[in-house]
Amino acid sequence: MMSTLNKKLKAWPVWMLMGILVVALLAVGAGRQSGPLTQEDRIDNVTQRLACPTCDGESVYVSQAPSSQNIRNEVARQVASGQRTDDEIVAFIESSFGGQVLLVPRATGLDALIWVLPIAVLVCCTAGLALTFRRWKREQGGQASDADRALVAQLLELDTDPTDSL
Amino acid sequence: MLAVAGVSGSLGRAALLIGLVGAVFGMFASVMGTRQHDEKVLRLVPRFATLCVVATVGAFVCMEYAMITRDFSLAYIQKVGSKSTPAIYNFTAVWSALEGSILMWLLILAVCTVIIAWKYRSRLIDPLVGWAMATMFFVCTFFFMLTLGPANPFGKGAAGVLDGPGPNPLLQNHILVLFHPPILYVGYVGMTIPFAFAIGALITGRLGEGWLLETRRWALFSWGFLTFGIILGGWWSYEVLGWSGVWAWDPVENASFIPWLTGTAYIHSVLVQERRGMLRVWNLSLLIATFSLTILGTFLTRSGVLNSVHAFSDSDIGPYLLTFFGVIVLVSVGLIGWRGEKLRSPGTIDSPISREGAFLANNVLFGVFAFVVLLGTVFPLIVEALQNRQLIVGEPFFDQLATPIGITLLVLMCIAPVLPWRKASGELLRQRLFWPAWAGIAALVMSLAVGAVGLAPLLTFTLGGFAAGAALRQLALATRRQGLRGLVGRANGGMVVHIGVIIIAVALAASNSYTRSQEITLTVGKPAQYGGHSFEFVRFVEEKDDRRISVKAEIIIDGSGTYAPAIQKFINMGQNIGTPSVKSMFTKDIYLTLQPPVKVSTNTAKIKVFIKPLMMWLWIGGGLMGVGTLLAAFPGSRRKPTDPVSAPIAQEASV
């Protein structure tokens, strides 16, 4: 009794319901607002995307160098004026400060490789793994080779010898 | 005193020379003894290893002595020594720049070599062990040559120097400088041991008795230290750097993370070899990749081709490291091509939906993850070489790719622990995953109830709950069977590590997504409110010594407890270093930094307040990973050889 109830409880329909429940809850959570961002939060978001011009590889958000302070102040001014979106502020900083201020490579030209290669590698690895599994499956179904037979014979010999001598 | 000056330099250099001789002789003794099966020669091997370790310890002691006595006749002491550095940071200053770091690397390497040589001295006649020893000595020889040539810590400095700047301010600011670098190095350098055994296996074309167990244990040992070192580094960054983060995807951080990723892949897929005898060549390749990536990472970060906040000095060791890396890769690939077929196992993996299949999926994900981090780290070099143009690949790139990979890994962590070996049916999965899945739903409901938003963090919390459920299910079954002993062993210790990882994933998702911050200008006597907490500025405290000037702002949070974010100016460096102050609670941290400019004469202070949820759980998760690694290192309850090794075949309508 118990085990059939257990089986029914954990069967496909219940799992489907659980799936629907999760999707619904995630939709609720992903859709709702996190409360208004303060200006400071927006400044943090923007400065995390900008590179400090004088230090190596740090973001303006992380860096405490004076040059970063300048950019942070400019971002703060832009956020306070409320006229530009985050993306527009990033573009504005890029055009007005010049140099390399973006922390994220663009998806054009040579730079696009950095986005394409990871996906290519993932696809190749997954395909390779899938092919290997197919080969394995074929080998399982296939005929034993001579080498396999020899191996089995050898092992059988090893296995039976001690018992014979007993 | 002057008469002694310079002596530690000469002594140290002599010690390194002796060590080099020991390493070269050790290498020859291992090779000759192994090739001619000459036990007499092989018996010398542990002695040469001892010679190496005595020499390196001697050199290290000389370096410390020179540091402690402020022997400014040495160029290295001129660079990182200072009369005003406190004793503890003066001691750690030895590894605060390149030459000393390489010396520490060498010290740990020599200790590893001597441990292996003495532990396996009775088995040296086994060619596999002999070749492994030869490999260890080969790596030792290379590092001895580095310390005698391009990274010479005992080089003579300019005459007449009486004081130096001391180590980088960031390296004399927190006690963790004593722990983080050595522990990380043990993890890094320890990877040489499994690498050496891998090379031994390839040369001899066999894996040998107990190879797997020993290699796995050494790899786990190094992996544990690497993990611990990385987490300590995150903690250090959080406590010292003042930007409230733990990980910046800085090239040096990446250099330690990439081998960690391939090492993690290995400690999973080696279990397939242990259980099924398969994936031998693949596992050897992972070990070789892990070791060569430590060398590549050192090249990238120490040669000056990449700049980072960690790159405390430039030097000309780049070409040496790159050549060494090239040699390792070429020799290894050649060996795999030559011997791989001989090591290959005949078996097959029956189904992707099995424990083996999950480990392979794990390897794909960790492999891709390692590739992504490596690509992001070297991409600026590629662009510069091809188009002569500067490019920065920063945090947002890594975050964008690490998030989906991390979430997929969590999915795997939900399912893999309940999968049986060989083959699993859908029905079995539905049965075993039922309660873990509900744990995931419960986690989702709970996070929604406390107000969590956003798809990625919510997915992380849900999958975290699910994966924790799966791990706990495994542990519950094991402890029900065996009591507390059920926590020991690779599978169950591994589940404890999983729980630690899940806690870290949840804490990272929460703190990255929900950190809020605000700059507040505080005036004495007028408390301010932010994020439901009150902040009251009491006073500035100024401290001066001949090393630095520090200004602290004493701030009372919520009416009790004083926190004092500070700004320090290091006189020798002219550099301002902010030091944060953190109030840690189980649900969140309040992280305060003092913002420049500071005017001590006024009674107002500008501070920045970060409110970061669940930060403490990062360290709790890290601790749990350490405990789990220890549990996994001990042999668990052994199955009897006659026990079935996979899920029993369903008894169909049996009598």
What's B231-254 look like in SS3?
A: HHHHHHHHHHCCCCCCCCCCHHHH
DSSP string, B400-444: HHHHHHHHHHHHHHHHGGGPPSS---HHHHHHHHHHHHHHHHHHH
Choose from B392, B407, B446, B455 for mutation: most chain A CBs within 10 A: B392
B562: which strand partners? B556
Amino acid identity of residue A128, one-letter, is G
Nearest chain B CA: its distance from A81 CA (Å):
18
Domain final residue, candidates A58, A81, A104: A104
Residue matched to tokens 């290894």: B332
Q: Cα(A23)–Cα(A18) distance, rounded to whole angstroms?
A: 9
Nearest chain B CA: its distance from A42 CA (Å):
10
- Within-domain flag for B620: no
Average pLDDT, chain B: 89
Residues of chain B contacting A148 with CB distance shorter than 8 Å: 346
User: Are both A56 and A93 inside the same structural domain?
Assistant: yes
Residue matched to tokens 């003579």: B156
Q: Cα(B168)–Cα(B165) distance, rounded to whole angstroms?
A: 8
Tokens of B187: 């993890």
The verdict on A111 touching B (C-beta cutoff 8 Å) is yes
- State the pLDDT at residue B320: 92
Under the banding of pLDDT at 50, 70 and 90, the label for residue A141 is: low
ipTM over 0.95: no
Residues 6+ apart with CB under 8 A from B461: B443, B444, B446, B447, B452, B506, B509, B510
Average pLDDT over residues B452-459: 92
Nearest chain B CA: its distance from A60 CA (Å):
10
User: Are both B292 and B405 inside the same structural domain?
Assistant: no
Under the banding of pLDDT at 50, 70 and 90, the label for residue A164 is: very low
User: Are both B331 and B463 inside the same structural domain?
Assistant: no
Q: Please, are residues B95 and B104 in contact by the beta-carbon 8 Å criterion?
A: yes
- Within-domain flag for B381: no
Boundaries of domain holding B448: 395-514
Under the banding of pLDDT at 50, 70 and 90, the label for residue B26 is: very high
Residues of chain B contacting A113 with CB distance shorter than 8 Å: 379, 382
- A residues 115-144 near B, CB within 8 Å? 117-118, 121-122, 125-126, 129, 133, 136-137, 139-140
Which candidate from A18, A62, A105 shows the least CB-CB separation from B437? A18
CB contact under 8 A, B392 and A111: no
Nearest chain B CA: its distance from A38 CA (Å):
8
Nearest chain A CA: its distance from B244 CA (Å):
8
Q: Please, are residues B531 and B612 in contact by the beta-carbon 8 Å criterion?
A: no
Select the more confidently predicted residue: A110 or B29. B29
How does DSSP classify residue B390?
Answer: -
Neighbours of B103 (CB within 10 A): 26
Tokens of B146: 């580095």
- Within-domain flag for A100: yes
Alpha helix positions (H), B344-354: none
Domain final residue, candidates A104, A120, A148: A104
- Within-domain flag for B353: no
Residues 6+ apart with CB under 8 A from B486: B475, B477, B478, B479, B480, B492, B637
Q: Cα(B251)–Cα(B300) distance, rounded to whole angstroms?
A: 8
Residues of chain B contacting A22 with CB distance shorter than 8 Å: 440-441, 444, 462
Under the banding of pLDDT at 50, 70 and 90, the label for residue B491 is: confident
Q: Cα(B325)–Cα(B331) distance, rounded to whole angstroms?
A: 10
CATH of the domain at A59: 1.10.8.640
User: Are both B140 and B30 inside the same structural domain?
Assistant: yes
Residues of chain A contacting B518 with CB distance shorter than 8 Å: 38, 40
Under the banding of pLDDT at 50, 70 and 90, the label for residue A66 is: confident
Q: Cα(B108)–Cα(B190) distance, rounded to whole angstroms?
A: 8
Q: What is the pLDDT of residues B367-381, one digit of tens each?
A: 999 999 999 999 988
Q: Cα(B290)–Cα(B190) distance, rounded to whole angstroms?
A: 11
Q: Cα(B208)–Cα(B284) distance, rounded to whole angstroms?
A: 14
- Within-domain flag for A19: no
Q: How many domains does chain B have?
A: 4
- Within-domain flag for B648: no
Domain final residue, candidates B454, B486, B514: B514
Q: Please, are residues B167 and B92 in contact by the beta-carbon 8 Å criterion?
A: yes
Q: What are phi and psi of B227, to 5 degrees?
A: -60, -50
Choose from A15, A46, A56, A126 for mutation: most chain B CBs within 10 A: A56
- Within-domain flag for A15: no
Instruction: Using alpha carbons, list the distances in angstroms from residue B21 to A54, B51, B193, B324, B492.
Output: 45, 9, 21, 19, 45
B556: which strand partners? B536, B562
Average pLDDT over residues B543-547: 83
Residues of chain B contacting A21 with CB distance shorter than 8 Å: 441
User: Are both B437 and B547 inside the same structural domain?
Assistant: no
CB contact under 8 A, B309 and A133: no
User: Beta strand pairing status for B548-557 and B581-584?
Assistant: unpaired
Instruction: Using alpha carbons, list the distances in angstroms from residue A93 to A41, A49, A96, A108, B576.
Output: 18, 11, 5, 20, 26
Nearest chain B CA: its distance from A29 CA (Å):
5
Under the banding of pLDDT at 50, 70 and 90, the label for residue A90 is: confident
User: Are both A115 and A99 inside the same structural domain?
Assistant: no
DSSP string, B538-550: EEEEEEE-SSEEE
With 0-12 / 13-18 / 19 or more C-beta atoms within 10 angstroms meaning exposed / middle / buried, residue A134 is: exposed
- Within-domain flag for B635: no
Residue matched to tokens 């030091």: B579
Q: Cα(A165)–Cα(A162) distance, rounded to whole angstroms?
A: 5
Residue of chain B whose alpha carbon sits nearest to that of A145: B346
User: Are both B151 and B193 inside the same structural domain?
Assistant: no
- Within-domain flag for A124: yes
Residue matched to tokens 């097959």: B348
Per-residue pLDDT for B582 more than 80? yes
User: Are both A95 and A44 inside the same structural domain?
Assistant: yes
For the stretch B470-499, what's the b/e string if a residue is b when 16 or more beta carbons lie within 10 angstroms of its beta carbon? Answer: bbbbbbeebeeeeeeebbbbbbbbbbbbbb
Average pLDDT over residues B161-172: 86
User: Are both B4 and B113 inside the same structural domain?
Assistant: yes
Domain final residue, candidates B476, B495, B514: B514
The verdict on A65 touching B (C-beta cutoff 8 Å) is no
Dihedral over Cα of B69, B71, B75, B79: its sign: positive
CB contact under 8 A, B459 and A26: yes
User: Are both A130 and A74 inside the same structural domain?
Assistant: no
Q: In this predicted structure, which of B11-15, B221-225, B571-575 has the lowest mean pLDDT?
A: B571-575
- Within-domain flag for A142: yes
- Within-domain flag for B231: yes
How much of chain B, in percent, has pLDDT values that exceed 90?
A: 64
- State the pLDDT at residue B517: 86
Average pLDDT over residues A107-135: 91
Which among B28, B26, B33 has a CA at the least distance from the CA of B50?
A: B26
Q: Cα(B180)–Cα(B182) distance, rounded to whole angstroms?
A: 6
Residue of chain B whose alpha carbon sits nearest to that of A128: B364
The verdict on A42 touching B (C-beta cutoff 8 Å) is no
B584: which strand partners? B589
How does DSSP classify residue B78?
Answer: H
DSSP string, A1-51: -HHHHHHHHTSHHHHHHHHHHHHHHHHHHHHS---PPPHHHHHHHHHTTBB
Per-residue pLDDT for B412 more than 60? yes
Q: What are phi and psi of B380, to 5 degrees?
A: -55, -35
Q: What is the pLDDT of residues B416-453, one digit of tens each?
A: 999 999 888 888 898 899 999 999 999 999 999 998 88
Q: What is the pLDDT of residues B124-163, one digit of tens each?
A: 999 999 999 999 999 999 999 999 988 999 998 888 888 8
Cβ-Cβ contacts under 8 Å between A and B: the total is: 154
Q: What is the pLDDT of residues B277-319, one digit of tens each?
A: 888 899 999 999 999 999 998 888 887 777 655 555 556 788 8
Residues of chain B contacting A33 with CB distance shorter than 8 Å: 453
User: Are both A46 and A92 inside the same structural domain?
Assistant: yes
Length of chain B: 655
User: Are both A127 and A93 inside the same structural domain?
Assistant: no
Residue of chain A whose alpha carbon sits nearest to that of B432: A10
User: Are both B521 and B502 inside the same structural domain?
Assistant: no
CB contact under 8 A, B352 and A21: no
Q: Cα(B467)–Cα(B463) distance, rounded to whole angstroms?
A: 6
Residues of chain B contacting A29 with CB distance shorter than 8 Å: 444, 447-448, 452-455, 458
The verdict on A86 touching B (C-beta cutoff 8 Å) is no
Nearest chain B CA: its distance from A27 CA (Å):
8
User: Are both A98 and A116 inside the same structural domain?
Assistant: no
Q: What is the pLDDT of residues B40-88, one digit of tens each?
A: 999 999 999 999 999 999 999 999 999 999 999 999 999 999 988 999 9
Q: Please, are residues B633 and B224 in contact by the beta-carbon 8 Å criterion?
A: yes
Residues 6+ apart with CB under 8 A from B90: B67, B68, B81, B82, B166
User: Are both B109 and B1 inside the same structural domain?
Assistant: yes
Residues of chain A contacting B395 with CB distance shorter than 8 Å: 48, 59, 103
User: Are both A45 and A98 inside the same structural domain?
Assistant: yes
Per-residue pLDDT for B210 more than 60? yes
Tokens of B389: 């143009």
Boundaries of domain holding A124: 110-165
CB contact under 8 A, A103 and B392: yes
Q: What is the pLDDT of residues A4-36, one digit of tens each?
A: 777 777 888 889 999 999 999 999 888 877 666
Residue of chain B whose alpha carbon sits nearest to that of A105: B393
CB contact under 8 A, A55 and B400: no
User: Are both B458 and B500 inside the same structural domain?
Assistant: yes
Q: Cα(B150)–Cα(B211) distance, rounded to whole angstroms?
A: 36
- Within-domain flag for A51: yes
Domain final residue, candidates A56, A86, A104: A104
CB contact under 8 A, A29 and B394: no
CB contact under 8 A, A133 and B349: yes
Q: How many domains does chain A have?
A: 2
- Within-domain flag for A117: yes
Residues of chain A contacting B459 with CB distance shorter than 8 Å: 26
Q: Please, are residues B103 and B109 in contact by the beta-carbon 8 Å criterion?
A: no
Peptide bond into B46 cis (omega under 30): no
- Within-domain flag for A153: yes
Per-residue pLDDT for A51 more than 90? no
User: Beta strand pairing status for B562-563 and B533-544?
Assistant: unpaired
Q: Please, are residues B266 and B218 in contact by the beta-carbon 8 Å criterion?
A: no
Q: Please, are residues A64 and A77 in contact by the beta-carbon 8 Å criterion?
A: no
Q: Please, are residues B474 and B492 in contact by the beta-carbon 8 Å criterion?
A: yes
Under the banding of pLDDT at 50, 70 and 90, the label for residue B637 is: low
CB contact under 8 A, A30 and B453: yes
Under the banding of pLDDT at 50, 70 and 90, the label for residue B209 is: low
User: Are both B234 and B168 inside the same structural domain?
Assistant: no
Domain final residue, candidates B173, B189, B208: B173
- Within-domain flag for B638: no
- Within-domain flag for B208: yes
Residues of chain B contacting A99 with CB distance shorter than 8 Å: 390
How much of chain A, in percent, has pLDDT values that exceed 70?
A: 84
- State the pLDDT at residue B407: 97
How much of chain B, in percent, has pLDDT values that exceed 70?
A: 94
Neighbours of B401 (CB within 10 A): 20
User: Are both B181 and B165 inside the same structural domain?
Assistant: no
Angle (CA) B296-B302-B307 rounded to 5° is 105
Q: In this predicted structure, which of A60-69, B6-15, B162-171 has the lowest mean pLDDT?
A: A60-69
Nearest chain A CA: its distance from B626 CA (Å):
29
User: Are both B340 and B316 inside the same structural domain?
Assistant: yes
